[in-house]
Amino acid sequence: MIDFRSDTVTKPTATMRKAAYEAEVGDDVYKEDPSVNKLEEIAAEMLGKEGALFVTSGTQGNQIAALTHCKPGDEVIMEANAHVYVYEAGAFSALAGVQPRPIPGVRGAMDPFEVASAIRADDIHFPETSLICLENTHNKAGGAVIPIDNMKAIYEIANSNRIPVHLDGARLFNAAVASGKSVKDFASYADTVQFCLSKGLGAPVGSIIAGPSEFIQKARKWRKRLGGGLRQSGMIAAPGLVALQNNVDRLVEDHDNAKILANGLGNINGITIVNEVETNIVIVDVSGTGYNAEQFVEELRKKEILVGGYSSETVRFVTHYDVNVTQVKQAIEKIDNLIN
């Protein structure tokens, strides 16, 4: 099978498995796991933040951020197709008791003027705006890189209104590699940041949230409340260290493969590439092929190609280190034969 469903399907490398086996461990709830401590220290340094916290998933990291920054009844500004709004099961409302304020963006980027206009006035009829969420890269926008200038403009508006900014940077390292900027450059325009170790970086489990020391201290308690206080978790943190040390620069290969895939599929009659491919995500409209998305996914499965349905007419391909350029070209050929 050639699996394009997501970059979450990657298997841990031999180096990661060895690191997990040999990891020095302790009780992380007592802050005594050396591998977790080292991972948190390195992650905080890479992002330019005072502290970091190892959490079980990106969704948990984002929810901890909302719970730490906000109080029930508050409002959170976010892009209308943000992951925290579309794909996290309504957890901002269910867990933190906050109300989303979605703002339509362009390729995932909100207009700073619209963000400023959405901040609530001091009025007893209104909820308080307690957080602004950004996402980079933006999943629903096809892995689009939100420009640093856009982030900076929104961050300055937030600061002037004393509102913190949280960055859902699940694929932040993809944004950095694609733009030639550092993750620290992006993180400098957010008070708190979450990034996934288990997507393009290839670790089997976990995410990082980072920010000021006071935030991390409070976040640690929320992690405990959510059941995320693990014990000898160095066994899953150690592969995360390998991911940060070995798998960042190679993300460019995934981006190159995504462009090869997009170019090949775009030359097949009936297929239209929906997004501007900047990173490792390709969104394909298959309505011109005679198949709907569900049928197309099933036909590709028969040809040993796995993709994800995205809408009734679109499917998503995601490149990662378990899909090489030869497999990309094989997939293009098989899809061409299916359609033509």
Structure tokens at 102: 């979605």
pLDDT (0 to 100) of residue 270: 95
User: Do residue 228 and residue 264 come from a single domain?
Assistant: no
What's the whole-number mean pLDDT along residues 222-247? 96
Per-residue model confidence (pLDDT) at position 114 = 98
**Do residue 145 and residue 42 come from a single domain?**
yes
Same domain, 222 and 315: no
pLDDT at 176 over 90: yes
**Domain at 333, CATH number:** 3.90.1150.10
Give domain status of residue 237, yes or no.
Answer: yes
User: Could you tell me what percent of the chain has a pLDDT over 90?
Assistant: 100
Q: Give the structural domain span for 333.
A: 250-339
Q: What is the CATH number of the domain that holds 121?
A: 3.40.640.10
- Taking each helix axis from N to C end, the angle separating 213-225 and 58-69, rounded to the nearest 10 degrees, works out to 110
Straight-line distance from the first to the last Cα atom of the chain, in angstroms, rounded to the nearest whole number: 22
Q: Name residues whose C-beta falls within 8 Å of residue 38's C-beta, 6 or more positions apart in sequence.
A: 237, 241
Picking from 194, 225, 246, the residue at the C-terminal end of a domain is 246
Residues 41 and 170 placed together within one structural domain of the fold: yes
Over residues 12-25, the pLDDT tens digits come to 999 999 999 999 99
Tell me what pLDDT residue 340 has.
Answer: 85
Q: What is the DSSP letter of 288?
A: G
Q: How many domains does the chain have?
A: 2
- Owner of token pair 């995601």: 318
One domain, residues 60 and 164: yes
242 and 254 co-located in one domain: no
Inside any domain, residue 274: yes
280-333 tens-digit pLDDT? 999 999 999 999 999 999 999 999 999 999 999 999 999 999 999 999 999 999
188 lies in some domain: yes
Same domain, 91 and 16: yes
The angle that helices 325-339 and 251-266 make with each other, rounded to 10 degrees, is 20
Residue 307 included in any domain:
yes
Q: Are residues 232 and 258 located together in one domain of the fold?
A: no
Task: Say if residue 123 is in the same domain as residue 238.
Answer: yes
Q: What is the dihedral of CA 295, 299, 304, 307, to 10 degrees?
A: -30
pLDDT digits (tens, 9 = 90+) for 181-219: 999 999 999 999 999 999 999 999 999 999 999 999 999
Is residue 210 domain-shared with residue 325, that is, in the same domain?
no
Q: Confidence class of residue 53 from pLDDT cuts 50, 70 and 90?
A: very high
Provide the pLDDT for residue 274: 97
Q: What is the pLDDT of residues 92-136, one digit of tens each?
A: 999 999 999 999 999 999 999 999 999 999 999 999 999 999 999
